[in-house]
Amino acid sequence: MLFKVEMTVNIPLDMPVETAAEIKAKEKAYSQQLQQEGKWRHIWRIAGLYSNVSIFDVKDAEELHNLLMALPLYPYMDINVDALCRHPSSIRNDDK
Amino acid sequence: MLFKVEMTVNIPLDMPVETAAEIKAKEKAYSQQLQQEGKWRHIWRIAGLYSNVSIFDVKDAEELHNLLMALPLYPYMDINVDALCRHPSSIRNDDK
Amino acid sequence: MLFKVEMTVNIPLDMPVETAAEIKAKEKAYSQQLQQEGKWRHIWRIAGLYSNVSIFDVKDAEELHNLLMALPLYPYMDINVDALCRHPSSIRNDDK
Amino acid sequence: MLFKVEMTVNIPLDMPVETAAEIKAKEKAYSQQLQQEGKWRHIWRIAGLYSNVSIFDVKDAEELHNLLMALPLYPYMDINVDALCRHPSSIRNDDK
Amino acid sequence: MLFKVEMTVNIPLDMPVETAAEIKAKEKAYSQQLQQEGKWRHIWRIAGLYSNVSIFDVKDAEELHNLLMALPLYPYMDINVDALCRHPSSIRNDDK
Amino acid sequence: MLFKVEMTVNIPLDMPVETAAEIKAKEKAYSQQLQQEGKWRHIWRIAGLYSNVSIFDVKDAEELHNLLMALPLYPYMDINVDALCRHPSSIRNDDK
Amino acid sequence: MLFKVEMTVNIPLDMPVETAAEIKAKEKAYSQQLQQEGKWRHIWRIAGLYSNVSIFDVKDAEELHNLLMALPLYPYMDINVDALCRHPSSIRNDDK
Amino acid sequence: MLFKVEMTVNIPLDMPVETAAEIKAKEKAYSQQLQQEGKWRHIWRIAGLYSNVSIFDVKDAEELHNLLMALPLYPYMDINVDALCRHPSSIRNDDK
Amino acid sequence: MLFKVEMTVNIPLDMPVETAAEIKAKEKAYSQQLQQEGKWRHIWRIAGLYSNVSIFDVKDAEELHNLLMALPLYPYMDINVDALCRHPSSIRNDDK
Amino acid sequence: MLFKVEMTVNIPLDMPVETAAEIKAKEKAYSQQLQQEGKWRHIWRIAGLYSNVSIFDVKDAEELHNLLMALPLYPYMDINVDALCRHPSSIRNDDK
């Protein structure tokens, strides 16, 4: 099942630079692992913002929730979730 | 260049069913042509709504504008546009 | 999978009373059929409003979308969808 | 009487992990006690968010207020309350 | 049980003056009957607007819903409902 | 003259419990004094929230402003004010 | 007592030009009469909009309400009302 | 040229009382000086709020900006600006 | 003086195509005349929308208001106005 | 490609004056360098606010994103981005 997730990151202004760098490195590794497993299908940056648009391909809402809760940056994020389904006009078979 | 476009369709309640069906058929054909040309990369339905989330891959904002203005359902749509760029964590080379 | 769906009905002021009554009767029959099939788990009225809060239990977002699109009152509704998952504090096994 | 309550938890970023864990444990115990007493009928997690959708079955608004005010996480919550009543299309007798 | 209800009336611009006058007369009679029965405790006009703030004293949300649905102006109203309970600082015994 | 005032209290999370208790005690005494003087006509709790709906009966906006500014909890409140006038359908002579 | 009133006029697109001109002429005459009586103290146009910012000086909310309800353009207006009082920094004695 | 400016002051809760008093005294002196120069034409308190509605009479937007930026309370203010022009119904010649 | 004006055009769905084309032609001629006079400095299309961002260079708010009110599409527009002033970091002398 | 970017700066109230002055000086130098390179075409102050309206002329969304992320004040800014394209009524050839 596909979900669109939009994430906006708000790092506290007083977080030490090294701490922020460490969390971001973990976030990147975690994101890339999920991408390689095919669960985090797409991730794009919204131009000018510390925000991304992502497409997740998961078994159900439970799996999505667990994946998001494990994001190292989760405590600093505003999250918006929309459940998606295949569009009748889509010509891509794997775009569900 | 990639853009995320969200479209919500509001067909007037008094539009004859045949007229609506005709416009929707034109919309579908037009969408599929743009998908085949690679300009309309993705289109997903938002569950429960007459709305879609789409990713366009175009030369610039001018091309995006012209493609959207030519949508047969454009006069009945609310449109939201965000410019995207490659995310530093993305592992898909073609996801710009 | 569970979804919370909130529906607000806006019957056009100029719809003939009989037409409205007929659509509402179809809506009620359709809703009760889905409830009997176990797909529409709960439906409550929000006090004072022509709105309901509903819980759907469906295979995936695709099935939810098709069920909602078939609602006789769908063209007159504002719809809001949230994907749900089992809450770690829940003591009801069937509340997923 | 039934109420739908939506709760979003905002734990302060600087709360010590043990303190947060302790409050959450108390919250869980309190929630499960109210569920066993039949006053907190349903609780679902909203996918991707630290939010829940709950249905309370209480004598009146006074009892609801007292139950919510006693939530260990109450000081960190945004709360939204809607009074519900039986929906004329409902087929479940106990769904009031 | 007490509820605060705010109602804003939007009479369609093309409704004949006599029709509007007739509905408003019925509304007034109905409101005064409910006030005499003690169910519609207070009604105030919001200065400058075609809106009122009302306090209802009813058995439960079901009764509130039925009273509001029977308002002759209901189809033209935006409605906002809040469940109230006695305030710990109140000195009026009958203000629940 | 009547005003509806809605107050939402946001006690800072790091305020010592005793300080908060002291301010709330002063607030309660002040509120009850104004109620006894007939200036604070009604106060109700909004169910589930640390908010109240109040009706003030004062000489003019100046007096209302001074009464509110003197609230011990004022620095922690979000305030919303609406001027009221007698509703033509009201049957209570003293409800102005 | 002073009130700030902001009015935005939405003339229906299909109102005949002469009808609109007639209503606007009545509105202007009525506004100027109230200005001469000292009840409508100030009226300014918001640049670029069919909106005004006005200051009324009336006995109470009741009088304000009656004055506004009698505006020939009232049925086409969105209205926003704020009760004002003398500012402690004001040096103009008549600005209450 | 006239501008309507609405200012809402949010003094930080932890600012020492003397500091706040000092800034407010400077603000008052500065405001009264501008009023005497005819640049700050009107200032009214919005009843119940720590907010004001002001009318400025300045040469242009540049002068307005500089006057506002010099407000001692500016760092604690939310500001809203609307450019005004003479209303065709105004009978006061000096109300531009 | 400079103003940023954002205009969104909402042509009624039932306006005859020729009427719309005629109004748009007048709008274009009028806009180009104001551009040639230097009063309408910039106009850009917002990608994907029937909206523009414009910069006007006028004597004062009065002139801006009169220019906008004379737009042939004005009755179908939502308008948003911000007064601008020279930015201290700007290196363009004519960008005021 | 052109983008309109609106930036609102929120300097934390407890930032030392010298630190703020240093960051603003870097911001100004950086902005002026980008203006000289032709990438930051316009920058205007919104009257009364610590906000600007800017027009960027960049190769694509990627370049815009990198330019904005390098703003010394970026961590303290709220940012809003709109992709622009040439308006069919524009008479300025270089306004794309």
**Over the stretch J53-73, which tens digit does the pLDDT of each residue have?**
999 999 999 999 999 999 999
Rg, C-alpha atoms of chain I? 14
pLDDT band of E95, cuts 50, 70, 90: confident
Question: For chain A, which chains pass the contact test of at least 3 CB pairs under 8 Å?
Answer: B, C, D, J
Task: Tell me if chain E has a CB within 8 Å of the CB of D85.
Answer: yes
Structural domain count of chain B: 1
Rounded-to-integer distance, Cα H88 and Cα C67, Å: 56
On whether residue E14 sits in a domain, the answer given is yes
Task: Tell me if chain A has a CB within 8 Å of the CB of D49.
Answer: yes
Size of interface B-J (CB pairs under 8 A): 33
Mutate to test the interface with F, among E57, E89, E94 (most CBs of F within 10 A): E89
G3-14 burial: b if 16+ Cβ within 10 Å, else e: bbbbbebeeeee
Rounded-to-integer distance, Cα E89 and Cα C62, Å: 52
Return the residue of B nearest to C11 by Cα.
B13
Q: Indicate the residue of A5, A12, A64 with minimum beta-carbon distance to D13.
A: A12
- pLDDT of H45 reads 98
Question: Is residue D31 helix, strand or coil?
Answer: helix
- pLDDT of J93 reads 85
Question: Is residue E78 helix, strand or coil?
Answer: strand
Q: Indicate the residue of C13, C45, C46 with minimum beta-carbon distance to E12.
A: C13
On whether residue J95 sits in a domain, the answer given is no
Rounded-to-integer distance, Cα I62 and Cα E48, Å: 28
Mean pLDDT of chain J: 97
Per-residue pLDDT tens over the stretch G37-95:
999 999 999 999 999 999 999 999 999 999 999 999 999 999 999 999 999 999 998 88
**Domain boundaries, position J73:** 2-88
- pLDDT of A96 reads 72
Instruction: For this complex, say whether ipTM is above 0.90.
Output: yes
Q: Residue ranges of chain B with pLDDT lower than 70?
A: none
pLDDT band of E2, cuts 50, 70, 90: very high
On whether residue G95 sits in a domain, the answer given is no
Q: Which residues pair with B42 in a beta bridge?
A: B55
Per-residue pLDDT tens over the stretch E37-89:
999 999 999 999 999 999 999 999 999 999 999 999 999 999 999 999 999 99
- pLDDT above 70 covers a percentage of chain D that reads 100
Nearest chain G Cα distance for residue I95, angstroms: 21
Amino acid sitting at position C40: W
Mean pLDDT of A19-23: 97
On whether residue F2 sits in a domain, the answer given is no
Contacts of C44 in chain D (CB under 8 A): 2, 4, 55, 84-87, 90, 95-96
Residues 6+ apart with CB under 8 A from D8: D49, D50, D51, D77, D78
Rounded-to-integer distance, Cα D52 and Cα D58, Å: 18
Q: Which residues pair with I86 in a beta bridge?
A: J44
Contacts of H47 in chain F (CB under 8 A): 3, 61-62, 64-65, 81
Question: Is residue A20 helix, strand or coil?
Answer: helix
Is A39 in contact with D82 (CB distance < 8 Å)?
A: no
Q: Residue ranges of chain I with pLDDT lower than 70?
A: none
- pLDDT above 90 covers a percentage of chain J that reads 96
pLDDT above 90: residue A95: no
Nearest chain F Cα distance for residue H16, angstroms: 13
On whether residue E30 sits in a domain, the answer given is yes
Q: Indicate the residue of A12, A68, A75 with minimum beta-carbon distance to D48.
A: A68
On whether residue E11 sits in a domain, the answer given is yes
Q: Indicate the residue of I75, I76, I81 with minimum beta-carbon distance to G47.
A: I81
- In this structure, what is the dihedral angle of CA atoms D66, D67, D68, D71, given to the nearest 10 degrees? 120
Nearest chain A Cα distance for residue C82, angstroms: 7
Q: Provide φ and ψ at H94, rounded to 5°.
A: -85, 5
On whether residue J93 sits in a domain, the answer given is no
Which bin fits G38, alpha (ψ -120 to 50), beta or left (φ > 0)? left
Rounded-to-integer distance, Cα I90 and Cα H66, Å: 16
Per-residue pLDDT tens over the stretch A33-91:
999 999 999 999 999 999 999 999 999 999 999 999 999 999 999 999 999 999 999 99
Please give the span between the terminal C-alpha atoms of chain B, in angstroms, as a whole number: 8
Mutate to test the interface with C, among B10, B14, B49 (most CBs of C within 10 A): B49
Per-residue pLDDT tens over the stretch F13-68:
999 999 999 999 999 999 999 999 999 999 999 999 999 999 999 999 999 999 99
Q: Which tokens hold the place of D13? A: 């970023």
- pLDDT of H95 reads 84
pLDDT above 80: residue G96: no
On whether residue J54 sits in a domain, the answer given is yes
Residue I74: which CATH number?
A: 3.30.70.1060
CB-based contact D83 E64, cutoff 8 Å: yes
Mean pLDDT of J30-41: 98
- Residue whose token pair is 């105030």: E44
- pLDDT of D95 reads 84
Q: Is J touching B (3+ C-beta pairs, cut-off 8 A)?
A: yes
What distances in angstroms separate CA D88 from CA C24, D31, D56, E68, one per listed residue? 11, 30, 20, 16
Rounded-to-integer distance, Cα D57 and Cα C33, Å: 26
- pLDDT of E94 reads 80
CB neighbourhood size of F66 (10 A): 13
pLDDT band of D96, cuts 50, 70, 90: confident
Contacts of E47 in chain G (CB under 8 A): 3, 61-62, 64-65, 81
pLDDT band of C95, cuts 50, 70, 90: confident
Q: Which residues pair with B56 in a beta bridge?
A: B3, B40
